[in-house]
Structure formats: C-alpha cells, structure tokens
Amino acid sequence: MKKVHFVSLGCPKNLVDSEIMLGSLINEGYEVTDNPSDAEAVIVNTCGFIEDSKKESISKVIEMGELKKSGKLKKLVVAGCLTQRYKDELIEGLPEADVFVGSGSFQDIAEILKNPGHDEKGSIQKKFFDRPTFLQQQETPRVNSQPQHRAYLKISEGCKKRCAFCAIPLIKGNLQSRTIEAIVAEAKLLVAGGVKELIIVSHDFTDYGWDLRKKDPARSDNPYELLKALSEQSGAQWIRILYLYPDGITDQVLQLIKEKDNLLNYFDMPLQHISNDVLKVMNRRITREEILQCVAKIKSEIPEAVIRTQFIVGFPGETEEQFNELVEFVRDQKFDRVGCFMYSPEESTKAGSMAGQLPEAVKQVRHNILMQVQKEISKQKQSELHGTTVEVIVDGLSEETELLLVGRTRGQAPEVDGVTYINDGSANIGDLVQVKVTDTHDYDLVGEIINPSMTTAT
C-alpha cells in the first residue's frame, strides 16, 4: 500500500479540497501518513491569497522537496490556488516538484498519480489545468480530516463580487453554487458519521444561490432556504456560518437564526473598513451608514449574538484620518472578535496598481494600534463571562498539557477564535457540556463542567 502525506495550507475551503483529494486516494488504496518522511507521495495544497500565504506555500514545497534526497519520496505534488494562479512561474521555479494540479483538476488526483500521461513533447505530463474550478458533486469522495465531531461544509465556489484588493475571482472565477439538495445530502452523511458541528464555508454566504436562480428563476436556492433545510433536516446540533457579508443579511435570515437553536448566533461578517471613501475605492459597494444599520439590527434582534469581523489597514491612499475613523468605530462597536490584515498588493487586482501604496512600516503600526484596541475590548468582554455558564463542545486534550480539556463555546469558531479550557470534570471528545466560567483571559476562557452526569448531548 502506497503512503501519502498531505500539507493543506490556507482557508477551510482549501481544506475541503484536500479532503476530497484524500477521499479519492484512499479509494485507490493509498494510506495516509502524518510523517512526510514515510511517504512515497506528498501533496502540498497551496494558498495564493496574500503575500504571506504565498511565501508559506513556496517554503513548504521546498521543504518537502528536500525529502526526495532520501530516496523514499517519489512524487511531490503542488496543488491549490497558488498553482492555479501562477501556473508557468511555479513550474519553472520549483523543479523539485513533479506534478502541478490546478484548482479545477485536484479531484482527479488518484488518476493523475496512477496514469499521468504524456505531453505534446512525449515527456511525462506534469501540469493539469483543465478548468479553473471544480464544484463538488454528490458522488465526490471526501474524508473529513477534522475531529470526528465537526466538519466544514462548502456550499459554493468563486465569487460574484469584485473587491479591488481580492484575487479570488481571478483564481476561482465567478460564483458557482451547489444545490440545496446536494448540500443537505452531504450534511446528513457527515452527521451520520458523528459530526455535531457543521461549519458552512464559501467566499460569500449571502450570495449563495444567485447563479442558480439566474439560470432558472423557478429555483429557490438562497441563504434562507439553505439554512432552513440544514437546520431542520441535517440533524446537526450546531450549525456555524462563516463569511456573511453585511449587504446580504436579510431580516428573514436574522429571524431564522433567532428561532432555530442549532443555528448559532455567530456572525462572521468581514467589513474591511468603515470610511466611506476607502470602502468606495475598495469597491465594497456598501456605505458606513449601511454597515451601522446592519450591525445595529443584529444587536437589536439577537442581543446575545457574537460578531466577528475583519479589517484591512494600509489600503492604498488610506489617510491617518481614515484610519482613526476605523479605530474609533472599533472602540464604539466593541465587537466580540476582530481580525486585522495589513494590505497586500496582489498582481492583476485593481488595488495592486493604485497610487498611494503605503510603506510596510506604516501598515504595521496601524495593525498594532487596532489590535491593541481590540485586545482591551476582548479582555473586558471576556471578563463579563466570569461566573456564567456556557455550552461547550469538547475538542479534546489541550496541546499545552494533558491535564486540561479544551473546547469551544457557541461563540468560538475553530482556529480563528479563542478556546475554553476545562480544568475540572471529565468528558469525551465531541461531548456538549455545560461549563461554569471560573477565569478569563484576553481571548480564552477557563471553567469547570457542571452536571457531569449529563455531559453527552442527545
């Protein structure tokens, strides 16, 4: 049995692609190993979104390429967004790689490794870029690589928006949505396999189904109908939605989230900025006033809602005054979670060629200021949870010490938010438990399980 090792970089959407490759290879008799030194094939699923992720991807490919010198590694495969975006440059610049697979051909990885074929010169084919993207089908094999109790559920590919800073449409193309029937069918399979928390991912959840309705006006695939179907039919106990853009959060969707207990009151809503002038240049197609209205509506309808957002600092032409407007907005709104990115100029994007590119030092200073402001807000909001009881899903033992369990509340998404440490009580991985918060930190909680006889949710 051949052994394969996976390196999956970037976002959860990329991880789902890795899981599809994983399923394809396991079906062909491959064994997955966590140790790349034991593998005969290594697949690096790259990210090409911003400069740091591109550097990380290339560095990892070079690192894996060193293993070929030991003689065991026979095939080094480079897949993913970076490969799709820089086809010719990577093939020339990474001679240690044997196969380059684009974002529309990764699902064929088993056949590619088994029978790569030959190019027009008679050499063994090493590049596969048949189409820009692949939309997951019901029959597509996939193996969940997350802990058994949670899984990402990808509902679409590509994006219909054209933000000036974003290269996603250049890589993935226009929006392509899966049907509600296909998504619900996969959700049921995941839940039947032990998944309790479904995490919905896409490039823009609120645009879901737009392309299907455009092709066939009789179709009703939209965010509301999808959430309703998943809530009522999937069997999942927690359903978390990522990437809700503020211009598409409707009253109908808000009411549904308010009514359905398994639809978590967690709003991951990338805002990017608050200055009208910056938003306009970013081509965000939303105003400060509309953002304020959206945030106010969420807080009014669901006071206990957790709002996570992301901002870009150092966008071309961003003035000190505009940055200060952003800082004051964050101070005023007191978001539960805030991520901050320093603007990265991307080739072939509108913003990449704009005048007024700011020095890296200025971006770094602005990043640090904004995150320090948010740190104080987070510390205060965390302290308000002291003494309360929260529902926690148990992820397993802490990486820091086996004396602690670690889990997450409804307001903590995996990888991007803080965690809840459990220092008293016992539970199994995947259990939903009630935890009394006994201590708080800037981003993490500490607590003890109460009612231990009722740790496993039914």
Q: Do 113 and 77 touch, CB atoms closer than 8 A?
A: yes
Quick one: pLDDT at residue 15?
94
How far is residue 54's CA from residue 74's CA, in Å, rounded to a whole number? 24
Quick one: pLDDT at residue 456?
38
CA angle (240, 244, 249) in 5-degree steps: 110
Quick one: pLDDT at residue 394?
96
Quick one: pLDDT at residue 54?
87
Quick one: pLDDT at residue 115?
83
Q: State the 10-residue block means of pLDDT for the chain, 458 residues long.
A: 89 93 93 91 88 88 87 88 86 89 91 81 79 86 94 95 92 94 96 97 96 95 97 97 92 96 97 97 95 96 96 97 98 96 92 95 98 97 95 91 90 95 93 96 94 43
Quick one: pLDDT at residue 455?
41
Quick one: pLDDT at residue 48?
81
Quick one: pLDDT at residue 52?
83
Quick one: pLDDT at residue 69?
83
Quick one: pLDDT at residue 1?
63
Quick one: pLDDT at residue 307?
97
Nearest residue to 395 via CA among 200, 121, 147, 33: 147
Cite the DSSP H helix spans in 193-319.
210-215, 223-233, 251-259, 276-282, 288-301
Nearest residue to 113 via CA among 11, 213, 25: 25
Quick one: pLDDT at residue 51?
80
Question: CA 432 → CA 192, 304, 427, distances in Å?
Answer: 17, 19, 9
Quick one: pLDDT at residue 449?
95
